[in-house]
Amino acid sequence: MQLQRESVIRMQSELVQGCTKSQSIVHVWAHMMKTMFNFLLQMGEIDELYAATEQLTMGKFPHFFVDHSTLARALVRLESYLHKNNPKLRLLQTDVRYYNKQACFHSYRYLNFVVIAIEAPLTIGPLNKLMNVHHVYKIPMITLNSMDYYTKIATGIKAIIYHQDLYYYLTISDEAYSPIKDTLDLRNSPLLLQSRSIMGCGLALIEGDLKALKTFCRYHVIKGQVPTGVVKITNNKFLLSNISSIKIKCKKQNLTHSFVAREIQWVQNIHCGCVMEADRYVVTATSLHCPLDDNISLSFTPEFLTNLPFLTEFLSDNNELNLINDLTYLNESIQASLPELTIAGKEYQARLAIEKAASSIYRK
């Protein structure tokens, strides 16, 4: 019994020692894992710090130094400061994404700190709206009494910056000065604000006032056939000029329609799922709205636009013209008998011949 008791006590002691050693190993192992995890986190922060420093040296905005919430709070404080100290100024961009993508900033070191100064665009109250850039595309239109002439608006305006609720607008005559960012710095731009209280060519283009267009923009009557081309008017309407042959393919309806052009200029409607080949041009309808009757019957009847600037020179007092606007599509083209243009006279042709001869002598 004594021997058995001693054997059990010895066995118990060995078991206790073994358990103590195993618990110590587990504790040490857990401590090592925790230390390694913290070390990995620190290494990750160091990598992010290094990447952010590289972004800073390359001129990119580092999110590691200025996160979303910090930047949002800074913008709120700036708005509050402007409201209190200079209420005439407005913060133009309050969206944090703008500063993350497009904002300019400067960085420098102060003691143990990195200071990042962001350029926040400011504006005045009358300009605190998101203005739209409207591009101007000049479309040649055939005259009504002769196919040897066409009209074209004479303005050199390429684009108009405009908002219907603002008192000012801007016109762009050189595409090099078109804004490439969401903001336009008028301090470094040759573009000038124009008042909507005084009519001008740019305002006439926006408002669509034909009388003002003829007064401030003017129209040129050009001798020669209208240039060959296809102009997209809407998602499914195209203005065809001086096109010889047309082929329209509609795979969904298993239909191919080919015809020779009978008019110099007309509007062709392209149905959903159809492709039109007009000489060297290939166009497709881009409208997301497809009428249900497109699956039943397709119509390829041409439509026509009215050259109102030219026609109103002869029929200015006709009340019926007031019912027609610049996007009225007519279903028939009729021949008009109008007085001959002044530029078609013999005296003008003689002067033009003298100018051409003088020009050729000058080139020689």
Measure Cα distances from 353 to 48, 342, 360 in Å.
75, 16, 11
> Cα(149)–Cα(356) distance, rounded to whole angstroms?
19
Give per-residue pLDDT as tens, 311-322: 777 776 655 666
> Cα(230)–Cα(140) distance, rounded to whole angstroms?
11
Instruction: Order across the sheet with 194-195: list the strands.
Output: 132-135, 159-162, 168-172, 194-195
Question: What are the start-end ranges of the E strands in 43-200?
Answer: 89-91, 105-110, 113-118, 122-124, 132-135, 141-142, 149-153, 159-162, 168-172, 194-195
CB-CB contact of 190 with 115 (8 Å): no
Most confident of 122-126, 217-221, 294-298: 217-221
The encoded tokens of residue 163 equal 């908002």
Q: Decide: residue 161, CB within 10 A, 0-12 exposed, 13-18 middle, 19+ buried.
A: buried
Angular region, 254: left φ>0, alpha ψ -120 to 50, beta rest: left
Residue 16 has pLDDT above 90, yes or no: no
Residue 43 has pLDDT above 90, yes or no: no
Q: What is the pLDDT of residue 159?
A: 93
Binned at pLDDT 50, 70 and 90, residue 64 comes out as: confident
Q: How many CA atoms lie within 13 A of 259 on its CB side?
A: 9
The encoded tokens of residue 69 equal 């919430």
